[in-house]
Structure 1
Amino acid sequence: MTGLLTTLDLRGTDTSDPHALRSVLPRPKAAEEPPIEQVRAVIERVRVGGDEALRAMTKEFDGVDIDAIRVDPDDVAGAVERIDPALRTALETAHRNIAAYHRAQLHDPARYERDGLVVRELRRPVDRAGLYVPSALAPLLSTALMTAVPAKVAGVHETVLCTAPGPDGKVDDGILAAAAIAGVDEVHRVAGPAAIAALAYGTESILAVDVIVGPGSARVAQAKREVASSGLVGVPSSFAGPSEVVVVADRDAVVEDVAIDIVLQAEHGPDGLAWLICWDEDVRAAVDEAVGRIVATSPRREHIEATLADAGYAVVVDGPAAAIDVANVIAPEHLELQTADSEDLLVRVKHAGAVFCGPWAPASVGDYVAGPNHVLPTYGSARFAGALRVDDFCKHIHVVSLDEAALRGLAPHVQAMAAAEGLAAHADSVRQRVER
């Protein structure tokens, strides 16, 4: 089976102008037509109906009748013993690596002092964080770690995880075990935009949170944007939607490795993207043929073909520089540089969620155990946002103090600017102090 990747021949195209290039590069349909009205309807049902609406929509969308929305804490804790020992070891290894990397993001508070003016910074975690873990198409137990660990490192007191129940009404044991290992405080078996609405507005069973993180479908990502617009909950600026990968490959790349790395992100399901960029027609043809062979025998063939039909491309360009020009315009979630000069190409990368350099660094290592977060920007939001990090669970509060001499020295400048803005009380607040 061949031809799953649609060829886009950009040879002879000037790729140096990102604005012009953006107009010729296709994007997933969901990026152009976000499901706004559908999502808003679900959010309103939960806002008005609370737990009753959550149960009704779990039946409607997941085909499962549930009674208690929260998973019993004893069931969560017991999952660590119920899972395969090899998986437990893998989860514990991943937890250590993720925690170590995110602890490295902690830093001393900023402090600025000059002529009696002192400005300090206080880092304060949010009180309660909502963690969304997709599980309808695959139980993403790794996401439980990737969302909970940085929250705990930040010092968040309460972490609340939402994920879909399986056909038996239970949450996957792997997700529960990961939640237990990461110290998650509550697990609830609701999913989709309804779960995002519950975390934002609160229901009888789920108290509202201060920030919501985690990847998801296009509908889940749009739901986070909608609730963020209410001003009641914080959402990181990236659009953490369906999975994306761009693999840049040259003649030195191992064809089977390039192909499997394209497939591994596509198996998450539709609405993402999976692209090859190369400057050699033989490489394009060989990778496309290999992708076809891999997909033909994949247990997730349906999901992969759905992604590739909508956004599976093999782009042929004039050379390495043009390849990175294209990648920068796409601003993909995962960017793999499977080239002999990957470090040289890395210098040109401006927009990507995460970059994997060289033949021994598949994106799957980043998805699970490398340490950096796999909750990454999609749909081009890597142009202005990055991976989930500790600071996404924190506020930074500045504290200002002055002695009398400092205020006297700065007062004329405050008065001049306040006068220009027509704000008399601002000027008087310093004038009356220095004249007293």
Structure 2
Amino acid sequence: MSDFSITRLNASQNDFDGSLASLLAWDDSVDHQVNESVRHILAQVKARGDAAVLEFTEQFDRLKAGSLADLEMSKERLQQSLEAIPQNQRTALEAAAQRIRDYHERQNQQSWHYQEADGTVLGQKVTPLDRAGLYVPGGKAAYPSSVLMNAIPAKVAGVAEVVMVVPTPDGQVNDMVLAAAAIAGVDRVFTIGGAQAVGALAYGTESIPAVDKIVGPGNIYVATAKREVFGTVGIDMIAGPSEILVICDGQTNPDWIAMDLFSQAEHDEQAQSILISPDKAFLDSVEASIRRLLPTMERADIIAESLKSRGAFIQVADLDEAAEVSNRIAPEHLELSVDDPEALLENIRHAGAVFMGRYTAEALGDYCAGPNHVLPTSGTARFSSPLGVYDFQKRSSIIGFSASGADRMGRVASVLARGEGLTAHARSAEYRIKE
């Protein structure tokens, strides 16, 4: 890999802000053709239901079926997949599922209320969604870990029905994905994909029930469809390319850091891997590790392109400045590969998930640490959070005034309503005021 090069930036250089902005820039504007295609598919599914879904499934996945009932997988079929996979895969899936469940059970929110002195009761009722839709990529890309990460929080939240859609191009079924669905307690599975599956979940068809929220990753057509149906249903997020940012003090084995950077770069050419360190000699050592290890990787071409086009090494004055730069980036995954990660964590404000210390590889978070791997990308960690139980719950405000409370607050509401010129509001409150 003698021609390999990775962008080097220094936080002290005059044009650092502009260079960093250019590095982080990612065009998420949707191609006009994709938009038109997705809108056409969604309109057809909304108007023609099952028939449209079957036609698009035949067209795009080369899978012909007489009815959508033929494309639903029974719970018995999911169980067969669970029994068919190698024992080590089943054991690993079950271990990961248990950890994910344990972690997410701690997020479960309960309803609450309190009573004021005059008997007025105020509170919040927490209710799970009735039905959630889970999109799972199919074909070559098979992500059983995503099934666990999306379905388990929904079930912990109390969602009554989780409906999963997964394309099976040319009838190609992935047993590990179906086994994960069995372990996670998915209720119904349809072997459909693409924008047509998103439309079916959003609008409902004769065979597929409409859901309240759609979660899960997909290609550009799936992401665009989720964007289009938002408002009819809730969605988790519009995810950009995967990202990792490693802050290292220069004391971690450079081979470990190189491989951690590879772990995100191998997703696709648009993935972003960034290393920040105050130690220039260490940055050189990691680059040497990258050159040596890259030829040994199965996805070497994808990793190389990702690192060349979107990767970077950033030299900073110290770890405080490293945290400052990291907060500007607001990465999806942040590794604190330093002696005292707890101290450095105090300075971190924006990150999807933070991996503490030299032994905490980001890859563990993708599979079996317990916290969710569905994380905000493209700087959205500034204002959003990992997928969790709270995404499958909604909150209703509870308000119950006593006669005394209605008298007291009615006087306040009356003044404010008349100030806004809303007389009926005022009189409604005034009827409850004691003479």
* TM-score normalised by length of structure 1: 0.90
1:347-402 alpha-carbon deviations (Å, 9 max, x no partner) = 11111110001111111111111111111111111111111111101111111101
| 1:199 counterpart residue number | 201
Distance 1:4 1:423, change over 3 A: farther
Q: 2:131 aligns with which of 121, 128, 133?
A: 128
Q: 1:38 aligns with which of 34, 39, 49?
A: 34
Q: 1:274·1:308 contact (CA, 8 Å) conserved in 2? A: yes
Distance 1:325 1:36, change over 3 A: farther
Structure 1 position 321, deviation (Å): 1.9
Structure 1 position 136, deviation (Å): 4.6
Structure 1 position 302, deviation (Å): 3.6
1:116-155 alpha-carbon deviations (Å, 9 max, x no partner) = 2211211111111011223455311011001110100111
Distance across 1 between alignment mates of 2:272 and 2:358: 21
Equivalences for residues 240-279 of structure 1 within 5 A: 240-279=239-278
Single out whichever of 274-283 and 371-380 deviates more from structure 2.
Answer: 274-283
| 1:82 counterpart residue number | 84
Distance 1:313 1:117, change over 3 A: same
Equivalences for residues 6-405 of structure 1 within 5 A: 6-13=6-13, 24-27=21-24, 29-31=26-28, 33-35=29-31, 38-39=34-35, 41-49=37-45, 50-58=49-57, 61-62=60-61, 64-67=62-65, 68-115=70-117, 116-166=119-169, 168-228=170-230, 231-236=231-236, 238-405=237-404
Distance across 2 between alignment mates of 1:297 and 1:41: 40
Q: 2:81·2:179 contact (CA, 8 Å) conserved in 1? A: yes
**AA paired with 2:404?**
A
Partner SS, residue 72 of structure 2: coil
**AA paired with 1:65?**
L
Single out whichever of 2-11 and 310-319 deviates more from structure 2.
Answer: 2-11
Q: 1:28·1:271 contact (CA, 8 Å) conserved in 2? A: no
Structure 1 position 3, deviation (Å): 6.1
**AA paired with 2:364?**
V
- What 5-or-longer segments of structure 2 have no aligned partner? none
Distance across 2 between alignment mates of 1:47 and 1:362: 44
**AA paired with 2:12?**
G
**AA paired with 2:223?**
A
1:103-126 alpha-carbon deviations (Å, 9 max, x no partner) = 111233222322322112111111
Distance across 2 between alignment mates of 1:58 and 1:6: 42
**AA paired with 2:314?**
V
**AA paired with 2:173?**
V
Distance 1:159 1:97, change over 3 A: same
Structure 1 position 176, deviation (Å): 0.2
Distance across 2 between alignment mates of 1:287 and 1:60: 47
Structure 1 position 171, deviation (Å): 2.6
Structure 1 position 257, deviation (Å): 0.8
Distance across 2 between alignment mates of 1:156 and 1:409: 40
Partner SS, residue 123 of structure 1: strand
Distance 1:365 1:397, change over 3 A: same
Q: 1:243·1:265 contact (CA, 8 Å) conserved in 2? A: yes
Q: 2:245·2:326 contact (CA, 8 Å) conserved in 1? A: yes
Distance 1:2 1:151, change over 3 A: farther
Distance 1:246 1:170, change over 3 A: same
**AA paired with 1:160?**
V
Structure 1 vs Structure 2 CA RMSD = 2.5
* TM-score normalised by length of structure 2: 0.90
Distance across 1 between alignment mates of 2:419 and 2:40: 45
Partner SS, residue 121 of structure 2: strand
Q: 2:123·2:398 contact (CA, 8 Å) conserved in 1? A: yes
Q: How many residues align?
A: 427
Partner SS, residue 366 of structure 2: helix
Single out whichever of 241-250 and 358-367 deviates more from structure 2.
Answer: 241-250
Distance across 2 between alignment mates of 1:59 and 1:250: 54
Distance across 2 between alignment mates of 1:259 and 1:21: 26
**AA paired with 1:343?**
E
Distance 1:219 1:359, change over 3 A: farther
Distance across 2 between alignment mates of 1:5 and 1:216: 31
Distance 1:197 1:22, change over 3 A: farther
1:214-238 alpha-carbon deviations (Å, 9 max, x no partner) = 233455334322211xx210123x4
Distance 1:190 1:269, change over 3 A: farther
